């Protein structure tokens, strides 16, 4: 018989994290542990990572759902993808914990050259929103560290200032030397999005994530057809749980890329389904973390390596938080490694 527990973890940012939807100072996760009463020394661990202004499953009922799952773990462990379909972060946590339990409780879910420490994952350098000076400082640091792909979050400061940052980068590095991605987090208004995309194209941008807010499929479809900058859907995927609506999104909008965040889309099985649907339609994809603690990030990194995608992935090491759990993950240059 399975037994489970859950503990709330309030992660504290070392400095406020700016997004186009506001500034984050803290972020909550629930750490779920699962074990068998016949061998309580082997414990599987997973993380339900919630971003309260982004995750559609969030409400006052969310902690109650965590409790329900813990108290009825044997029921939910059977067909969790059906019973937790609308609670995608809890599904990710349970899928991870059960996978960890089945592989010995050592948080080695997907054994590979990555988990043995002999190979790494190429990642992008993430530039957080902030003042012009703060963003420029981050850019300089990432370039010194050797990153060949930078991702800038835009949409919070003045657009002209953001263009100035991109201009400074492009004066030093052309598109062959440095790949630039931008993430608007839905900040552009539909009536001026295309104009801004045309301006961004002058800086040879690899792609832009979620230029307008989600749930505007017709407008997004038109942008994907007309934008000179390739568009990647991000928040648009969150909350879709049925294969028909997932396929309908890709068929109607047909973006150039999709961004997969396993902790927000329902775990690895759902990520596999998104990848299958995208590849059938010749849509590119990559994987990113989404402010998980190192527990969730470790699982996502192991899964990402096994997918063998050569593009830079959107993973970090959880250095944003003051009180993160210990990790075996380190960054050397522009690659993420797992130290056994």
Give the H or E element holding residue 67.
helix 62-71
Catalytic, out of 153, 168, 171, 306: 153
Catalytic, out of 27, 99, 151, 261: 261
Instruction: Supply the angle between the helices 193-201 and 217-226 in degrees, to the nearest 10.
Output: 30
State how far the Cα of 237 lies from the Cα of 214, in Å rounded to an integer.
9
Question: Rg for the chain (alpha carbons), in Å?
Answer: 20
Phi, psi of 253 (to 5 degrees): -95, -35
Taking every pair of C-alpha atoms in the chain, what is the biggest distance, in angstroms?
A: 63
> Is 307 an active-site residue?
no
State how far the Cα of 118 lies from the Cα of 175, in Å rounded to an integer.
30
Are 91 and 81 a contacting pair, CB within 8 Å? yes
Bridge partners, 5 (sequence order):
33
> Is 261 an active-site residue?
yes
Are 258 and 232 a contacting pair, CB within 8 Å? yes
Are 127 and 156 a contacting pair, CB within 8 Å? no
Place of tokens 């190429």: 122
Token pair listed for 11: 């992660």
State how far the Cα of 41 lies from the Cα of 328, in Å rounded to an integer.
21
Active site residues: 153, 261
């Amino acid at each position: 018989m399975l037994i489970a527990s859950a503990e709330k973890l309030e992660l504290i940012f070392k400095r406020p994290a700016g997004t186009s939807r506001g500034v984050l100072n803290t972020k909550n996760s629930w750490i779920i542990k699962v074990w068998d009463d016949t061998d309580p020394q082997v414990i599987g661990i997973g993380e339900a990572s919630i971003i309260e202004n982004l995750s559609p499953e969030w409400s006052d009922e969310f902690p109650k759902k965590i409790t329900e799952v813990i108290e009825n773990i044997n029921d939910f462990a059977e067909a969790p993808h059906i019973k937790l379909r609308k609670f995608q972060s809890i599904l990710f946590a349970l899928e991870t914990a059960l996978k960890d339990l089945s592989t010995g409780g050592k948080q080695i879910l997907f054994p590979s050259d990555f988990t043995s420490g002999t190979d790494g994952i190429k990642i992008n350098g993430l530039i957080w929103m902030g003042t012009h000076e703060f963003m420029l400082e981050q850019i300089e640091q990432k370039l010194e560290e050797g990153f060949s792909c930078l991702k800038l979050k835009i949409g919070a400061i003045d657009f002209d200032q953001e263009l100035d940052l991109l201009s400074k980068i492009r004066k030093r590095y052309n598109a062959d030397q440095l790949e630039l991605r931008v993430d608007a987090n839905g900040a552009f208004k539909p009536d001026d999005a295309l104009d801004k995309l045309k301006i961004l194209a002058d800086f040879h941008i690899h792609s832009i994530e979620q230029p307008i807010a989600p749930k505007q499929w017709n407008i997004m479809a038109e942008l994907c057809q007309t934008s000179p900058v390739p568009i990647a859907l991000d928040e648009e995927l969150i909350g879709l749980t049925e294969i028909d609506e997932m396929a309908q999104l890709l068929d109607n909008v047909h973006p150039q890329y999709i961004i997969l965040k396993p902790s927000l889309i329902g775990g690895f099985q759902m990520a596999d389904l998104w990848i299958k649907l995208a590849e059938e339609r010749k849509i590119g994809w990559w994987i990113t973390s989404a402010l998980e603690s190192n527990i969730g990030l470790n699982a996502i990194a192991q899964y990402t390596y096994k997918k063998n995608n050569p593009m830079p992935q959107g993973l970090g090491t959880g250095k944003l938080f003051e009180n993160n759990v210990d990790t075996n993950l380190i960054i050397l240059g522009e690659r993420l490694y797992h130290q056994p």
